[in-house]
Structure 1
Amino acid sequence: MTSPFDLSGRTALVTGSSRGLGRAMAEGLAAAGASIILNGADAGRLTEAVAAMTAAGHTARGLNFDVTDEQAVVAAFAALDAEGIAVDILVNNAGIQFRKPMLELETADWRRVLDTNLTSAFVVGREAARRMAKRGHGKVINIGSLTSELARATVAPYTVAKGGIKMLTKAMAAEWGELGIQANAIGPGYMITDMNQALIENPAFDAWVKGRTPARRWGRPDELAGTCVYLASSAADYVSGQIIYVDGGMISVL
């Protein structure tokens, strides 16, 4: 009997996947049998990521576009259409962080974070879902955060964007469920990534994370792979509008 977690014959597009969490989830999807489309704005880094995944025996290709450029997003999907490539699984992972107190925050920086972390998920999600709807099936996985639920000082635009991801996911589920599309989200806890490197190297913050998290450690990017594969698979065909936190238990305790 075929495993419900088998993704053979499926194609997954993971935005912001040349490194970090996106790369780890892409590798997890590939290990489950999916063909992978890696995405990133840095063409050189994207080429290296594709080469590494191909060398590991996976089927992977790169798609170099900026998720905040709507015309580029539309053109990227049109190019896939022209090649006869259908995206069955979309992981909206691309994101940035920007730390500054709100009283010092420029509107341009606010918009840049929301455009990258939230609006891009809508635009890329819309383009993918338009095609999924015609086929009657599809999986959209948005990447939220602990800040989808809780705020922390100095990261207001990120917090608002990730709170928006939670509700965007529910809106997608509400509108697209009858089209055969399931939309869910993953909320990573504090993970060992380049984005968090300065925090990891800060002794006080490192101690806070370990003390605040029941697992008493930072998470590894590869620890998101299982949840991502589950939500992308037929095992989750009746799961939609949910956000699953992969955070070592942090969000569950005071």
Structure 2
Amino acid sequence: MSVNKFSLEGRVALITGGCQGLGLVFAKALAEAGAAVAVTSRDEAKAADAARQLREETGRPALGVAVDVTDSRQVGRMAEETAQALGRIDILINNAGINVRKPILEYDEESWDLVQSTNLKAPFLCAKAVVPYMIKQQYGRIINMSSMLGTAALAERSAYCSSKGGLIQLTKVMALEWAGHNITANAVCPGPFATDLNKVVMNNPEANQFFLDHLAIKRWGNPDELTGLIIYLASEASSFMTGSSVVIDGGWTAE
């Protein structure tokens, strides 16, 4: 296979939650592979700063979009703004996510709804807004960021596990419905990566050791270790792959 299959030259990628953590890492990797990128945040200033940083570091076009991805009207404006500013949308990475850790009997309805809306409803809304552009151009790549906890459970993560498991199933339906338009949909299921979302665990010695004990590689993942998979799924190289869920978790779920 030619390495040109991995080039994203001429492509446009939209990454939700792309202004920090894994999302910003993905945006930079896609830009370095040749794509123009749009990154989103609820905070307009944060979105603008992230886009400026991406332009300076990669030399590629970058757009910052302020949006609440759980609001269908704002999501529609996000897709329209991205398409107008960058010309098209080829790649959608549904990366925005949240986790609230509580035992089931202590889990309040508001927290449950927040996790489900952010982790499951938002990818549905974003795909629904973006896919018409992909259908028009008869090309698209959808990458849904699920989790190893969409396939394996962990105590005190009821809403998170449920939402990420649901996202895997949603990905399969997307793949079936849009394959005829040359649109693929796949889910990435990371294990423990050293991100801001996981700092509360990493900074707790007992909890951190629990995680290390379950990792065959005996360390947390580096966010950069996800970028090769992201570029593959976003590129022509993965043209025959759709409806799949790829676990990348340092061996946690191999047990």
Partner of 2:113: 111
Q: Which moved further from structure 2: 101-110 or 80-89?
A: 80-89
Partner of 1:191: 193
Partner of 2:180: 178
Q: 1:189-236 CA distances to partner (integer Å, 9 max, x unpaired)?
A: 101111111100111121122221111100111111110000000000
3-state DSSP of counterpart to 1:4: helix
The code of the aligned residue for 2:127 comes to: G
Partner of 1:45: 46
Q: 1:80-134 CA distances to partner (integer Å, 9 max, x unpaired)?
A: 3444621100000000110111111121211111000001001101111111011
Alignment partners' CA distance in 2, 1:76 and 1:236: 26
2:238 maps to which of 223, 236, 239: 236
Alignment partners' CA distance in 2, 1:81 and 1:91: 15
Q: 1:40-98 CA distances to partner (integer Å, 9 max, x unpaired)?
A: 11222222211221111232111111101111011222233444621100000000110
3-state DSSP of counterpart to 1:3: helix
Partner of 1:33: 34
Q: Which moved further from structure 2: 113-122 or 80-89?
A: 80-89
Partner of 2:214: 212
Alignment partners' CA distance in 1, 2:249 and 2:206: 19
**Any unmatched runs of 5+ in structure 2?**
none
Alignment partners' CA distance in 2, 1:43 and 1:27: 19
Alignment partners' CA distance in 2, 1:29 and 1:105: 37
Partner of 2:100: 98
- TM-score between both structures, scaled by the size of structure 1: 0.96
Q: How many residues in Structure 1 have an aligned counterpart in Structure 2? A: 253
Alignment partners' CA distance in 2, 1:36 and 1:81: 11
- TM-score between both structures, scaled by the size of structure 2: 0.96
Partner of 1:54: 55
Q: Which moved further from structure 2: 40-49 or 86-95?
A: 40-49
Alignment partners' CA distance in 2, 1:242 and 1:8: 25
Alignment partners' CA distance in 2, 1:106 and 1:237: 42
The code of the aligned residue for 2:36 comes to: S
The code of the aligned residue for 2:140 comes to: G
3-state DSSP of counterpart to 2:231: helix
Alignment partners' CA distance in 2, 1:39 and 1:84: 14
Q: Which moved further from structure 2: 82-91 or 215-224?
A: 82-91
User: What are the equivalent positions in structure 2 for 1:67-216 lying under 5 Å apart?
Assistant: 67-83=69-85, 85-216=87-218
Q: 1:148 to 1:37 in 2, by over 3 A?
A: same
Alignment partners' CA distance in 1, 2:26 and 2:83: 24
3-state DSSP of counterpart to 2:73: helix
Q: 1:140-161 CA distances to partner (integer Å, 9 max, x unpaired)?
A: 0000001110111111111100
Alignment partners' CA distance in 2, 1:25 and 1:237: 20
Alignment partners' CA distance in 1, 2:3 and 2:102: 50
3-state DSSP of counterpart to 1:191: coil
User: How large is the Cα RMSD of the aligned pairs?
Assistant: 1.3
Q: 1:98 to 1:6 in 2, by over 3 A?
A: same
Alignment partners' CA distance in 1, 2:225 and 2:168: 20
Please say if 1:21 is aligned against 2:22. yes
Partner of 1:6: 7
**Any unmatched runs of 5+ in structure 1?**
none
